[in-house]
Amino acid sequence: MNLEEKPVKPHGRHIIDLAPPQERAFLIAVEGQENHGWPAQDSLEELASLARTAGAEVVGAEWQQRRHPDPDTYIGAGKARELLAAKLETGFTLLIADDELSPTQQRGLEEVLNVKVIDRSRLILDIFALHARTHEGRLQVELAQLEYQLPRLTRLWTHLSRTGGGIGTRGPGESQLETDRRLIRDRISAMKARVEQVRRNRETGARSRTAGSAPTVAIVGYTNAGKSTLLNSLVGSEEVLAEDRLFATLDPTSRRVRLPSGAQAIVTDTVGFIHKLPHQLVDAFRATLEEVSRADLLLEVVDASDPHWLEHRATVQEVLEELGAAGKPRLVVANKVDRASQAGLAIEGALLVSAVTGLGVERLLERLEGELQRQGSPVDLELPYHVVGEVEALRARYGFQLVYGDAMLRITGFAPAEVASELKKLKRRSIGRVL
Ligand SMILES: Nc1nc2c(ncn2[C@@H]2O[C@H](COP(=O)(O)OP(=O)(O)OP(=O)(O)O)[C@@H](O)[C@H]2O)c(=O)[nH]1
Ligand SMILES: [Mg+2]
């Protein structure tokens, strides 16, 4: 053996793996009378992919049929005790409930099972915290987390007011709780002010962008529907992060997209929605989601290969309503048709697309341009050739039809109201010059 190739052995050094051990998660749900198209089993499957996205290993799941969740233990107390056997068997270290838990329910379950207990909202907030990259994203996630914590603060301190009770013990416990609440409230107001500042900056940016610039399109849809992949495919590049995991995108990304006529649109990809999205997140992400409320057109991406596309659309509709954007003009895209079932292909009025193979993307661009133009005022006029430079510059941005006639330029199609009036002014000016 060649001595020089011998690996050098470090002396006295041990590599210590500091990564925390992967948590073993067990999932629970309650199946009530109304499930809004989400049987407990399906909702649990989604919860499992959320748990995996957060880095846990899912070791089991159970659900219970009951009219309402138990006020003390979410699932019934008997069922909760039965989980002790599952704990022995699977060794779970984390219990995740599919609905938001009250502090009492969380404590009840923790007492019976002696493991950490969290709920779906907490899990989603965690994933958001994990994926937030920008300053704005982090601010908003922290705000949502604080809002989530505030009403749950009691449980940290109740042991103080309970121990012994009576004179001298209750006071400090309660005042500590009050101090903590006040601290969190102060922090919430400070964060809100900062988010508002970011929002105002963003608004100024958006205004300078829209002043005489291209129309805007916001991509909306359920998480993992393929929104980022579609934006890449519209731009013809791979630059936006698209991944097979939930909430890969948190911060809005805008790209210029070339439409068939040569005009451009600004297309924004943003955070996806999910069933039982914590309301704190919708509130905190209002600044980010304003991109959606401000857009000229919504491009709703539906994962046509997911058996739950109908429920996904209902969730998207609910969030859009909450944002006051449900009435906006909308183009619906049935994505992932390369692996969709028959039912998924029948989404009414949807354009069939595969963002991965590129199938249908050309037609989508045509429809997009058509829709955007329809929102403008109709124009139909003739202009002399000496203003061709100005006309071409406007066309590059708005994409109306331009025909080079023998003696005149003929313009037809739709353009935003201010462009239409600019064209008319141009006509008056050019005629004035001719005469
Ligand atoms: N088969 C197939 N897979 C697709 C298609 N479009 C997207 N995907 C896959 O779906 C997964 C999610 O895609 P993304 O573009 O990240 O989805 P998203 O809607 O941006 O998701 P979030 O940002 O997490 O909300 C990725 O693994 C993509 O490769 C498609 O047309 N066909
Ligand atoms: Mg994305």
CATH of domain 214-372: 3.40.50.300
Q: Which of 222, 224, 240 to mutate to test the pocket of ligand 1 (most atoms within 8 A of CB)?
A: 224
Predicted pLDDT of residue 175: 67
- Ligand 2 center–CA 112 separation, angstroms: 39
Give tens-digit pLDDT for 12-21. Answer: 566 777 777 7
Which residue from 323, 333, 260, 259 is spatially nearest to 295, judged by alpha carbons? Answer: 323
What are the backbone dihedrals phi and psi of residue 334, each rounded to the nearest 5 degrees, phi first? -90, 105
Predicted pLDDT of residue 174: 58
Residue listed under structure tokens 């697309």: 353
- Ligand 2 center–CA 249 separation, angstroms: 4
The number of the ligand nearest the C-alpha atom of 300 reads 1
Q: Long-range contacts: 388-397, Cβ < 8 Å, 24+?
A: 390/426, 391/423, 391/426, 394/419, 394/422, 394/423, 395/261, 395/262, 395/263, 396/262, 396/263, 396/264, 397/212, 397/213, 397/214, 397/263, 397/264
- Residue nearest atom 14 in ligand 1 by C-alpha distance: 226
Q: Round to the nearest angstrom and report the end-to-end CA distance of the chain.
A: 96
Q: Between the CA atoms of 292, 225, 316 and 346, what dihedral angle is there, to the nearest 10 degrees? A: 120
Q: Which residues of the chain have pLDDT under 50?
A: 1-8, 155-166, 168-170, 211-212, 434-435
The CATH architecture that domain 24-130 belongs to is 3-Layer(aba) Sandwich (3.40)
How far apart are alpha carbons 45 and 80 in whole angstroms?
20
Sign of CA dihedral 416, 418, 424, 426: negative
- Ligand 1 center–CA 304 separation, angstroms: 11
Residues with C-beta less than 6 Å from any ligand 1 atom: 221, 223-229, 242-244, 246-249, 272, 335-336, 338-339, 354-356
Which residue from 280, 227, 222, 293 is spatially nearest to 255, judged by alpha carbons? Answer: 227
Give tens-digit pLDDT for 304-323. Answer: 999 999 999 999 999 999 88
Q: Looking at ligand 1, which atom is closest to the CA of residue 354?
A: 31
